[in-house]
C-alpha cells in the first residue's frame, strides 16, 4: 500500500469520528484543571494586586519568577520562562525527549504524568477498537466499552513502554554519550565534537522513534487480530515493521511532520499574540484550546493511518498465501 494512501485514509478515519476527539479533549481539560486551579490560586497569592501583575502582562518578570521558584512546591515547579512564548513548550518537550530528565519538574509532577499515561492507555483501547471495528462509527457507549475491554492489553503495553524508555535513558543514552566522550576526548576541534554529539542525538532520536513505532503496531495488532498476549504482539510488530521498514518509517515520519507543522503554526500564532488586553487574552486562550484539540487529533492520526497501513498489508499477504 502506498504511504500517502494510508495517510489519507487514516486522516479520513479520524475525521469521521471527530466526536471521539471531543470526548478525549473534555477529559484532558478536566484533568488539567486539577493542576491549573491550585497553580492559579498560588499565583494569585504571589502576585495579588502588586505591581508585578502589570509587569507580567507586558512580559515575563524574571525577578519575580526567581523568588516564586525558590518557594515553589508540586505543580508550581512547572512555571517556567519558556511558557511565556509560543515555542517554549516545544523546546521543553524536545529537551525532555532527548534527555529523559522527567524529574526536573518534580517527583509529584512525574507521578501525575505516569497517571496520565495510564489514562491515555485506557483511551487507546477505545480509539483503536473503534478504528478496527467494521462499523468504524463512534458512539460514547461503544468508545468507553472498547476502552474498558482492551485496557488490560493497553496497560501492559504502557508498562512495557515505561521499561523500554527507562532502558533508553538510563543505559543506552549514557553509553552512547560516554562512547562519544571517549572518542572525542583528545580532539582539538570543537566543531567536530559538536557534530559527533549531534550524531548521537540523532541516533537517540531514531531509537526513540523506532521504539514508538514498535509499541504503536503492538497496540494495533493486539486489537485488530484479537491476540491474547500483548508481549507477543511486540514481536509481531517488530516483524511487520522490518519486513516493510522503508514504508513504515516513511508513514511515521509523515505523521510526525504533520504534528510538527501543527506545533509550529500554533506556536507562531501564540508568539505573535501579546495578551496585554483582555480581548487578546481571550483570543490567546481560544488558540491554546484549539491547539490542544489539534494535538489530540494528530495523535489519533497515527493510530488511524498505521492501522489502515497494517490491515491493507496484512490482507495483501493473506491473499498472496492463498494464491
Question: What letter would DSSP give residue 225?
Answer: T
3-state percent breakdown (helix, strand, coil) of the chain, nearest 5: 85, 0, 15
Res 288: pLDDT: 79
CA distance 320 to 53: 68
Mean of the per-residue pLDDT values of the chain = 81
Taking only the tens place, the pLDDT of each residue in 45-86 is 667 666 666 666 566 666 666 666 666 666 666 666 555 555
CA distance 78 to 38: 12
Taking only the tens place, the pLDDT of each residue in 154-171 is 999 999 998 998 898 889
Q: How many helices (H) and strands (E) does the chain have?
A: 13, 0
Of the pLDDT bands very low, low, confident and very high (cuts 50, 70, 90), residue 223 is: very high
| pLDDT for residue 286 is more than 70 | yes
Q: Which residue has the cell 496585554?
A: 276
CA distance 286 to 280: 10
Q: Which residue has the cell 495578551?
A: 275
Res 139: pLDDT: 85
The domain limits of the chain are: 3-322
pTM over 0.85: no
% of the chain at pLDDT higher than 90: 34
Res 29: pLDDT: 86
Least confident segment among 96-105, 204-213, 289-298: 96-105
All residues at 6 or more sequence positions from 9 whose CB lies less than 8 Å from its CB, including other chains: 304, 305, 308
| Phi-psi category of residue 137: left, alpha or beta, with phi > 0 → left and psi -120 to 50 → alpha | beta
Res 279: pLDDT: 65
SS3 of 151, please? helix
Res 165: pLDDT: 87
Element (H, E) at 274: none
All residues at 6 or more sequence positions from 228 whose CB lies less than 8 Å from its CB, including other chains: none
Amino acid at each position: 500500500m502506498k504511504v500517502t494512501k494510508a495517510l489519507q485514509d487514516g486522516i479520513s478515519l479520524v475525521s469521521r469520528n471527530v466526536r471521539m476527539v471531543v470526548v478525549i479533549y473534555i477529559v484532558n481539560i478536566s484533568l488539567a484543571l486539577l493542576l491549573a486551579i491550585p497553580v492559579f490560586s498560588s499565583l494569585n497569592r504571589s502576585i495579588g494586586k502588586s505591581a508585578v501583575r502589570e509587569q507580567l502582562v507586558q512580559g515575563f518578570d524574571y525577578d519575580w519568577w526567581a523568588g516564586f521558584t525558590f518557594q515553589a512546591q508540586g505543580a508550581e515547579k512547572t512555571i517556567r520562562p519558556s511558557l511565556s512564548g509560543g515555542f517554549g513548550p516545544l523546546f521543553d518537550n524536545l529537551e525532555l525527549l532527548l534527555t529523559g530528565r522527567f524529574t526536573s519538574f518534580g517527583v509529584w509532577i512525574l507521578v501525575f504524568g505516569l497517571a496520565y499515561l495510564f489514562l491515555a492507555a485506557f483511551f487507546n483501547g477505545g480509539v483503536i477498537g473503534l478504528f478496527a471495528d467494521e462499523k468504524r462509527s463512534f458512539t460514547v457507549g461503544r468508545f468507553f466499552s472498547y476502552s474498558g475491554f482492551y485496557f488490560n492489553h493497553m496497560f501492559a503495553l504502557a508498562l512495557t513502554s515505561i521499561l523500554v524508555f527507562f532502558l533508553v535513558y538510563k543505559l543506552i543514552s549514557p553509553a552512547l554519550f560516554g562512547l562519544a566522550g571517549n572518542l572525542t576526548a583528545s580532539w582539538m576541534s570543537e566543531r567536530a565534537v559538536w557534530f559527533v554529539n549531534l550524531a548521537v542525538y540523532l541516533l537517540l532520536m531514531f531509537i526513540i522513534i523506532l521504539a514508538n513505532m514498535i509499541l504503536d503496531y503492538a497496540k494495533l495488532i493486539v486489537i485488530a487480530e484479537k491476540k491474547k498476549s500483548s508481549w507477543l504482539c511486540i514481536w509481531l510488530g517488530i516483524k511487520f515493521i522490518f519486513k516493510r521498514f522503508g514504508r513504515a518509517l516513511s508513514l511515521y515520519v509523515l505523521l510526525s511532520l504533520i504534528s510538527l507543522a501543527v506545533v509550529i503554526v500554533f506556536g507562531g500564532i501564540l508568539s505573535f499574540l501579546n495578551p496585554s488586553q483582555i480581548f487578546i487574552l481571550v483570543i490567546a486562550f481560544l488558540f491554546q484550546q484549539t491547539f490542544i484539540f489539534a494535538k489530540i487529533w494528530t495523535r489519533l492520526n497515527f493510530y488511524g493511518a498505521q492501522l489502515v497501513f497494517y490491515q491493507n498489508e496484512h490482507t495483501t499477504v493473506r491473499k498472496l498465501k492463498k494464491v
